Structure 1
Amino acid sequence: MQTLSPAFFIPILVVFVAGVGFAIQAPLNAALGKGIGGGVAAATISFGVGFAALLVLTFVLGEGRALTRAMSVSPMYWAGGLLGTVVVWSMLWSVPTIGILTAFAALLLGQLSAALVLDAIGAFAAPVHAITPTRVLALLMVAGGLILSRF
């Protein structure tokens, strides 16, 4: 079990704040899609703004030269952009129908289901974390939350 030091909670707080932003992003993208009359066009705008922000951040952090090495890595690692497209589009499409909470509960359940397996096999050179009854219970609790989000 990991110790619960202050250093453990700082990344959790950062990701929590990012999660709040992600929850706000979904209805903003849906409203943008409704406003301009196109969901995919709205996602394109969203990704364009994100691209511009990341490009500025890349140079502010002094990582500009890393961009020149992008072609030296396996094309498989470029799939993250495609997966991000699926996430943004699926949220943009589903939020108006099932609501923000249920959409995020389903997204979270999918993420955690995949993460459980990816942890267990040490995917992409990540450290291995075994599938334990406690971790499975955590996943089942999120599944219960997804069901409860509809009531």
Structure 2
Amino acid sequence: MPTLSPAILIPVIVVFAVGVGFGIQAPLNAALGRAIGGGVAAAAVSFGVGFAALLVLSLALGQGGALLAAPSQPLWMLAGGLLGAAVVWAMLWSVPSIGILTAFAALLLGQLSAALVLDALGAFNLPVHPITPTRLLALALVAGGLVLSRL
């Protein structure tokens, strides 16, 4: 079995920890949506809190000037914010009806499907990682997990 070097293991642990937080975020936002009476409003509040936290962190790290360069970037580079908003809303909307596990399995399947294609294309000037049978099997296993989450 291959071993994971610290250069690989540390980012995996960090992303895993953030993934745990992301798993908690959906039901928290769903609860906020029920409490305030609106899912879109809850998503807006969630993004507002996140924006404030990132603004403070940007300033604390001395990256405030970088914010001034954002308006001059191509619009497609700003689409991540729209996609993030769609994720937050879709999750808080779907979790009460299909449950956290199924919602995340569907989200993960969508993310991995896009990632497989984007990797193969080397999209956004990233290194190319070809589609292989092993990668397709990984995607199929997640699809199987989605199906099993509803049995």
Query: TM-score, normalised on structure 2?
Result: 0.96
**Offset at 1:60?**
1.1
Aligned to 1:12: 12
RMSD, aligned CA:
1.1
Distance in 2, matches of 1:3 and 1:20, equals: 23
Residues 24-63 of structure 1: pairs in structure 2 closer than 5 A: 24-63=24-63
Listed as ranges, the gaps of 5+ residues in structure 2 are none
Listed as ranges, the gaps of 5+ residues in structure 1 are none
3-state SS of paired residue (1:150)? coil
Aligned to 1:107: 107
1:54 partner letter: L
Aligned to 2:139: 139
Paired-residue identity, %: 74
Aligned to 1:83: 83
Q: Deviations over 1:100-140 (max 9, x none)?
A: 00000000000000000000001111111000000000000
2:66 partner letter: A
Query: TM-score, normalised on structure 1?
Result: 0.96
Number of matched pairs: 150
**Offset at 1:46?**
0.3
